[in-house]
Chain A
Amino acid sequence: MNIKKDDSLSLVLIGGSSGSFVIFEEILKLLVQPLSFAIVFVLHRGKSSTSVLPELFRNRTNVFMSEPHHLDTIETNTVYFAFPDYHLLIGPDGRFYYDLSEKVFFSRPCIDATFISAAFSGIPVKAALLLSGSSADGAFGVKVLAQKGFATYVLNPKDAESPRMPEAALQQYDKHTIIYKSTLIKVVQDILYSHAM
């Protein structure tokens, strides 16, 4: 396997499904200054929703937005969106890999696939966040990340429009940091722009 190209690369991973889109928007609005890492969003969405996300936000921030291609190198100061109908994997060589295998939790992209691949990639994960959603997808992935020693955050189920996803995450592993709706923006801001790692 190739050696990892960019040693300074680190990742922030954010996963969600129904009820997460509004939060995604809020987070994207925070991105005013350049980022020292890459953000990867995995949001369940339909086959036909191609390119909607980057277009929606492209001109609003100083940060690059991309729906990556297979084998693209992961760059800092870029927000990546998992393309619909493919699983998005993160390779130990710092590149994205698509995977066309069957859906998981009726979803492709599946959050677990991205999170687990990141956990095993050897690339540092600065933070992983799991938001709102009506399936248990992501719960296992965020646990694997936590067990690898990375900082993990789960939305308080009571604050989630669809609580199933964060509930499952907390059932599978109870040491995630819980984020509350009232302080969400502050917490995310700290993750994004704090210099400590």
Chain B
Amino acid sequence: MVLIEYSELETLIGRIHEISGFDFSGYARPSLLRRASRYLTQHTMNVKDLLLHIEPGGGIVYDLIQELTVNYSEMFRDPDFFMKVKTDVFSYLESYPALRFWVAGCASGEEAFSMAILLKEAGYLERSIIYATDLNNKVLTAAREGVFTLGNTRTFSENYLLAAGKNSLSDYYHVAYNMAVISPEIRKKIVFSLHDLTGDGVFNEFQFISCRNVMIYFTLELRQNVFRLLYDSLSMLGFLCLGKRETLRYSGIEQNFKIIDSTLNIYQKIQ
């Protein structure tokens, strides 16, 4: 395994910024260090080689950015979270004639599709619209296609059942050329678009924002800015959801939220 020092990581971050404009300076160093080391190991090179080889317009830097931003996701990841949203959040939404959801950092759409299915089964999908955003164009393209391998759908189906799904996940996709394609009735309620949580601003007001397993990669400081953006994008009594091991602590907006579930990280804006 090829290891790298924090000082070398800083050099690499600077170089990536110069070459591609992509700024990792607000990303948490411990996980970046680990990702960088894994990238070097896979490509059997050391930092010096890498610094020599990345150049403007070359493919390596995009490869590297891809590797450093973790895009892994699953449909119905943390099934207990989806169960809780269904039982404890949806009832609050009853009175709204139109509902806006935001899945921030949506990767290839897994979470947005899950949300749409959950809403469909609860009878809310018709009056809902889900905005799903990410800063990575590559994953957004995949999300718009809504295509997964059958291997993936096996895990997703297990999660779906654990989340007490009412039907079978296969009711929401069809199989073509050995791939699972999410059905149009689910997709048509989702708008996928490019949005950088660290640079772009408020673009709508939402009753529900899910930003799970995204800020976990940000530094404490950057994270506070993003929390502010999410806060400003939420309507009063709207819901904010974070990943299972994340926390609203150290966010700067703790006092504005009521805890709906502290282990599953579901909060409601109360001031």
Contacts and interface: CB of A to CB of B under 8 A. Distances in A.
B175 to A, nearest CB: 26
B250 A1 contact: no
Contacts, number: 68
A171 interface: no
A90 B30 contact: yes
A24 interface: no
B247 A70 contact: yes
Interface in B21-74: 28-31, 33-35, 37-38, 70, 72
A102 interface: yes
Contacts of B1: 112, 140
A21 interface: no
B35 A101 contact: yes
A25 interface: no
A124 B6 CA distance: 16
A70 B216 contact: yes
Contact of A71 (B5, B29, B35, B247): B247
Identify whether the interface residues of B are mostly helix, strand, loop, or mixed. Answer: loop
Given A102-B72, A144-B3, A117 B247 contact: no
A69 interface: yes
B160 to A, nearest CB: 16
A121 B3 CA distance: 13
B202 interface: no
Interface string A110-145: 001100110011000000000000000000100010
A70 B245 contact: yes
A53 B167 CA distance: 35
A83 B72 contact: no
B32 to A, nearest CB: 10
Interface stretch (A30-38, A92-100, A180-188): A92-100
Contacts of B3: 116, 120, 144
B26 to A, nearest CB: 11
A49 interface: no
Given A71-B250, A89-B30, A101 B245 contact: no
Contacts of A92: 6, 29-30
Contacts of B220: 2, 71
Interface in B197-225: 213, 216, 219-220
A89 B247 contact: no
Q: Most chain-A Cβ atoms within 10 A of its Cβ — which of B5, B29, B30, B34?
A: B30
Contact of A69 (B6, B30, B247): B247
A140 B38 CA distance: 14
A86 interface: yes
B188 interface: no
B70 A120 contact: no
A92 B30 CA distance: 8
Given A89-B34, A101-B70, 15 more contacts: A1-B6, A1-B29, A69-B247, A70-B247, A71-B250, A97-B30, A97-B31, A98-B246, A101-B31, A101-B34, A117-B33, A117-B34, A120-B3, A120-B6, A144-B3
22 contacts: A1-B29, A69-B245, A69-B247, A69-B249, A70-B245, A70-B246, A70-B247, A89-B31, A91-B28, A92-B6, A97-B30, A98-B216, A98-B245, A99-B31, A99-B70, A99-B216, A100-B70, A101-B70, A117-B34, A120-B3, A140-B1, A144-B3
Interface of A: 1-2, 69-71, 83, 86-87, 89-92, 97-102, 112-113, 116-117, 120-121, 140, 144
Closest 7 CB pairs of A and B: A89-B30, A97-B30, A91-B30, A69-B247, A99-B31, A98-B245, A101-B70
